[in-house]
Amino acid sequence: MSATPLPDPRTRPSDGVPDGGVPDGGVPGGVTPGTGGLVDRHGRVATDLRVSLTDRCNLRCTYCMPPEGLQWLPKVEQLTDDEVGRLVRIGVEELGIREVRFTGGEPLLRPGLVGIVAAATALAPRPEVSLTTNAIGLARVAPALAAAGLDRINVSLDTLDRERFRTLTHRDRLDDVLAGLRAARDAGLTPVKVNAVLLRGVNEDDAVPLLDFCLEHGYQLRFIEQMPLDAHHAWTRNEMVTAEDVLERLSAAHDLTADTEERGSAPAERWLVDGGPATVGVIASVTRSFCGTCDRTRLTADGQIRNCLFAREESDLRTAMREGASDAELADRWRIATLAKLPGHGIDDPSFLQPSRPMSAIGG
């Protein structure tokens, strides 16, 4: 069994954006924004919006937050459902956003989730709308989400072993997650994708069982390299399970061949399993970063625009909105925040500093 080596990320197609140049209809690096989409100084265009709906969570994944939880955002600092709807509308109508993914924290904890999804799917041009969730409670709400127009769902699941799940998440909720997965598939929220993070010495040997489980149930599995975004700053480069490690493990049980289908700005490198059509993805955020083709922009639950997961600066749309800013002014702030996006996350740079917000408060 074998896996062909990962392709060189530096030779990946730039999705229509000339190297170091300006996309069609875009804003050249350094000019004053005012119209058009979300273009940065390196010529990348953000069309994929990640919206965090809450920083709270009902699990405590060890690589994400400590067992005691975090200091949650006060309610008054959180965007209301209408404020979320307004900013998503500005993104879609004024700024060229084509995909909206709701996340968190745990987005299923947001009471207004179904209404927020319905408002997003009613926009024109209609964005693709998806959800990233730990699936606890999904069994109950999946039909309503599908009826609200949700297109797809990603579920996080790092192990199929009940005891290990409890150790990894500090909660005994594996059965709820499995029920949520089934409900998502039955509600037609397909393809259902499963995201898994492997930790050295903890769940590395879940790689093959997770793939077999996903193949059996028709879910699309993607492994994500652990990133330095944990609240307790325990991540180390030497300890993380790399994409190469994952592929080596999978290759011991399955034949993997690189999927030659155009990847565009999608972060997952995909592999056909045993000749296909089933695939497995590896998101090598750390070891094979894809910053050069990044098309993301992020809105936190408290209304801050972040141009990168690893950004150390934010743009405060909530305060501007509550002080009466017009749609045009908010759009302009968003454009300006985008211009400053750095070319890469720089994790391997000795000067790298982890952002002060953890993943759960940014929106993964």
CA 32/CA 336 separation, integer angstroms: 8
Residue nearest to ligand SAM (CB): 364
Q: Which residue has the tokens 């690096």?
A: 29
- The verdict on whether residue 61 carries a ligand-binding annotation is yes
| 37 or 104: CB nearest ligand SF4 | 104
Q: Which does 60 bind (CB under 5 to 8 A by kind): ligand SAM, ligand SF4, none?
A: ligand SF4
| 43 or 104: CB nearest ligand SF4 | 104
CA 114/CA 112 separation, integer angstroms: 6
Inter-residue contact 208 to 252 (CB < 8 Å): yes
Work out how close the CB of 171 gets to ligand SAM at its nearest, in angstroms, rounded to a whole number: 12
Work out how close the CB of 206 gets to ligand SF4 at its nearest, in angstroms, rounded to a whole number: 15
| Residues paired with 305 in a beta bridge | 299, 315
DSSP 79: P
Q: Which does 307 bind (CB under 5 to 8 A by kind): ligand SAM, ligand SF4, none?
A: none
Q: Which residue has the tokens 């599908």?
A: 146
CA 48/CA 294 separation, integer angstroms: 9
Q: Which does 15 bind (CB under 5 to 8 A by kind): ligand SAM, ligand SF4, none?
A: none
Q: Which does 339 bind (CB under 5 to 8 A by kind): ligand SAM, ligand SF4, none?
A: none
Of 50, 174, 62, 59, the C-alpha closest to 108 is: 59
Give every CB contact of residue 130 below 8 A, 6+ residues apart in sequence.
Answer: 99, 100, 101, 102, 150, 151, 152, 153, 154
- The verdict on whether residue 296 carries a ligand-binding annotation is yes
What is the per-residue DSSP string for 113-151? HHHHHHHHHTSSS--EEEEEE--TTHHHHHHHHHHTT--
| 14 or 213: CB nearest ligand SAM | 213
Q: Which does 65 bind (CB under 5 to 8 A by kind): ligand SF4, ligand SAM, none?
A: ligand SF4
Longest CA pairwise span in the chain (Å)? 61
CA 362/CA 189 separation, integer angstroms: 24
Work out how close the CB of 241 gets to ligand SF4 at its nearest, in angstroms, rounded to a whole number: 16
| 173 or 341: CB nearest ligand SAM | 173
SS3 content of the chain, % helix, strand, coil (to 5): 30, 15, 50
**Alpha helix ranges (H) inside the chain:** 81-95, 113-121, 138-147, 162-169, 174-186, 207-217, 243-251, 317-322, 327-339, 359-362
Q: Which does 229 bind (CB under 5 to 8 A by kind): ligand SAM, ligand SF4, none?
A: ligand SAM
Separation in Å, CA 201 to CA 90, 168, 240 = 45, 12, 10
Q: Which does 230 bind (CB under 5 to 8 A by kind): ligand SAM, ligand SF4, none?
A: ligand SAM
If phi > 0 it is left, if psi is from -120 to 50 it is alpha, else beta; for residue 244 that is alpha
Give residues in contact with ligand SF4 (CB under 6 A): 57, 59-61, 64-65, 104-106, 134, 156, 360
| 103 or 297: CB nearest ligand SAM | 103
| 151 or 176: CB nearest ligand SF4 | 176
- The verdict on whether residue 89 carries a ligand-binding annotation is no
- The verdict on whether residue 101 carries a ligand-binding annotation is yes
Q: Which does 226 bind (CB under 5 to 8 A by kind): ligand SAM, ligand SF4, none?
A: ligand SAM
Work out how close the CB of 62 gets to ligand SF4 at its nearest, in angstroms, rounded to a whole number: 9
Give residues in contact with ligand SAM (CB under 6 A): 57, 63-64, 103-104, 106, 132-134, 156, 195, 197, 224, 226-227, 229-230, 359-360, 364
| 157 or 317: CB nearest ligand SAM | 157
- The verdict on whether residue 214 carries a ligand-binding annotation is no
Give every CB contact of residue 178 below 8 A, 6+ residues apart in sequence.
Answer: none
Q: Which parts are annotated binding residues for GTP?
A: 50, 101, 132, 193, 296-298
Binding residues for S-adenosyl-L-methionine, by number, are: 63, 105, 156, 227
Residue list, annotated binding site: 50, 57, 61, 63-64, 101, 105, 132, 156, 193, 227, 291, 294, 296-298, 308
